[in-house]
Amino acid sequence: MATKHNSIYWLDNEKYHFETEGASVIIYDDTNNVLGTLNDLMFKGKVVENVSFKTIKGTGVYNTKGLTGLPTSVPTDKRAILSVTAIGATSSPDMILYKVIGSNGVIAECTSFNGTFTDWSVGGISLQNTINTINTSLSSLGSRITDTNTNISNLSNSLTTLSTKFDKHNHDGRYPQLSGDIMQGNLGMKYGASYQFNRSNGQTVNMANIDKNDNFTLGNNQLALNIVSSQDVKINGHKVYTDLNSGEGSGINADQLDGLDSTKFLRNDIVNKVQADFELENGHELRVMPTNNNSTDPYGRILAASGGLVLGVKDANVVGIYNSEIWSNVPITLAAKNSEGRMRFAKSNGTIGLYYNDGREEMGFYDWGRNKFLSIFTTNGDGIMRLPESPYFNGRRLFLQNETPTGDIPYGSVWIGF
């Protein structure tokens, strides 16, 4: 187990603090590249996997697996010990001795001289001599580590003495200043406690806290809360809608509008069934727009007028409907093409009125209550008026028939027969 030491170092009357561990001394090459820790390279074995053994150039012991370039007699799918001894510059040694010990007990060696590698030789020089050499090196390094630990221990004692002095004042970096300081780590707060701010009147208010049930509260009911963001504010990844980003195009699918379900409103893309009265204020109109919805084109209109209703088109009234009359200030055309058009008057017994039959080109009066023709003005466009009954003229009748007249025959009537 490594011992952690805190020390102080004096240089030109300047005081420097540092801490280290005896087992965490880092070894660098001469170009300041990290080769590994002293603990890994000399004691535990630095772990290296799935690279070429030729990339390993620093002196030390390596815990390897999956290295390429090893002799085929050394299993690469299992752990192997690779011992490297290098002389010359640490980043580019002049000569390197590689010795690998496989999990099956096979020992092989090869060397590199100025970047030229020899073939692997199984056995090589005496294993015992190599082990003795390694042990001698480790013993020497162990002595150096012992000396280093002694120095660290001395530094630790100095730091302990210095720490005692520092405990008596508050000018070191362990304490944040009251103004203008920056925290270098996390600032923790236990549940039940709160982040507090002082109001302008000196009152202290809680602004953020977590209770024992892990409920987080932000803000205070005595203060207004204004959240400022360069983008939309989100809760659990979902956008918060405000008066600035809501409305049409926002993507909100509201269940209700002004407390009413969507079925209570008219839609412009379907046939609407209205189950209540629809009122137009006096002077306002209901427009029936053309297909292209261009208000400059003629359009139908229903206008709410005082005492009645007016039907028309853009800028023109056509028909007015009031309590006791229907009027129009333009000609009214009834469609009768390829059919029969009728204008009827209701009476106590059915209806009576004017008709036009396009198939016969016939126009006349008819009593639909009695199923009886009253008169015909034209047939097939001949312009001849036809009367199925003898007509009255100034209280007298004109009979044009062969049979002797019967029924109502006023004095002075004329009968013409054959």
Alpha-carbon dihedral sign for residues 351, 356, 358, 359: positive
Backbone angles phi, psi at 165, to 5 degrees: -70, -40
Is-contact 130 99, C-beta < 8 A? yes
Contacts of 46 (CB under 8 A, 6+ apart): 36, 37, 40, 60, 61, 62, 63
Listed in sequence order, the residues at least 6 apart from 356 whose beta carbon sits closer than 8 Å to its beta carbon are 334, 336, 340, 341, 342, 362, 363
What is the structure's pLDDT at 246? 73
Which one has a higher pLDDT value, 398 or 176?
A: 398
Identify the top-confidence range among 116-125, 178-187, 204-213. 204-213
Exposure pattern of 309-337 as b/e (b: 16+ CB <10 Å)? ebebeeeebeebeeeeeeeeeeeeeeeee
What are the pLDDT digits (tens) for 89-126? 877 899 999 999 998 888 999 999 998 999 998 864 34
Element (H or E) spanning 131, and its range?
Answer: helix 127-166
At 310-339, the pLDDT tens digits run: 777 777 777 778 777 887 878 877 788 889
Residue 242: C-alpha distances to residues 234, 245, 257, 261 (Å): 11, 6, 16, 22
**DSSP-based three-state secondary structure for 59:** coil
* Burial class of residue 6 (count of CB atoms within 10 Å of its CB; 0-12, 13-18, 19+): middle
Q: How far apart are the first and last CA of the chain?
A: 151
Cα(144)–Cα(125) distance, rounded to whole angstroms? 28
Q: What is the largest CA-CA distance in the chain?
A: 168
157 phi and psi angles, rounded to 5 deg = -60, -40
Round to whole Å and give the CA distance between 138 and 132: 10
Higher pLDDT, 352 or 301: 352
What are 102's two structure tokens?
């496989």
Quick check: 45 and 63 in contact, CB under 8 A?
yes
Q: Per-residue confidence at 410, pLDDT binned at 50, 70, 90?
A: very high
Query: Would you place residue 367 in the very low, low, confident or very high pLDDT band (cuts 50, 70, 90)?
Result: very high
Tokens of 161: 């003495």
CA-based R_g, the chain, Å? 56
**Rounded Cα distance, 117 and 54, in Å:** 9
